[in-house]
């Protein structure tokens, strides 16, 4: 799978991808989402990760410390331009 340059330094690189892609963003999975966001908060590539997720309209999972609802709000507020097609998830876990 394609790996972006910045993703090689991702704090989540060797972590279980399911932590960042819970089956739900609500209910019992909320603690999982919060745990993923905490990892993002200490990640050296949080900014490019979030920029990538916004520009490629990643609709699922935690990216750059944000959940899908937060990203939709950011996109709506700033009219982030959309880039071409992109892999669904080049990270975490070296995907």
Among 54, 64, 67, 89, binds ligand SF4 (CB under 6 A): 64
- Quick one: which of 32, 33, 49, 90 contacts ligand SF4 (CB under 6 A)? 49
Tell me: does residue 54 bind ligand SF4 (CB under 6 A). no
Quick check: 11 and 44 in contact, CB under 8 A? yes
Residues contacting residue 34 through CB under 8 Å, at least 6 positions apart:
none
Q: Does 49 count as an annotated binding residue?
A: yes
Q: CB of 26: closest distance to ligand SF4 in angstroms?
A: 19
Report if residue 33 touches ligand SF4, rule: CB under 6 A.
no
Q: Which residues of 55-76 are buried (b: 16+ CB within 10 A; e: fewer)?
A: ebebeebbbbbbbbebbeeebe
Residue ranges of the binding site: 12, 40, 43, 49
């Amino acid at each position: 799978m394609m790996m972006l340059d910045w993703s090689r330094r991702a704090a989540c690189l060797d972590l279980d991808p399911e932590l960042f892609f819970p089956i739900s963003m609500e209910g019992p999975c909320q603690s999982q989402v919060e745990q993923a966001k905490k990892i993002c908060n200490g990640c050296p590539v949080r900014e490019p990760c979030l920029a990538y997720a916004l520009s490629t309209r990643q609709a699922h999972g935690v990216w750059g410390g944000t959940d899908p609802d937060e990203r939709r709000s950011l996109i709506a507020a700033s009219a982030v331009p959309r880039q071409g097609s992109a892999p669904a998830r080049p990270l975490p876990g070296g995907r």
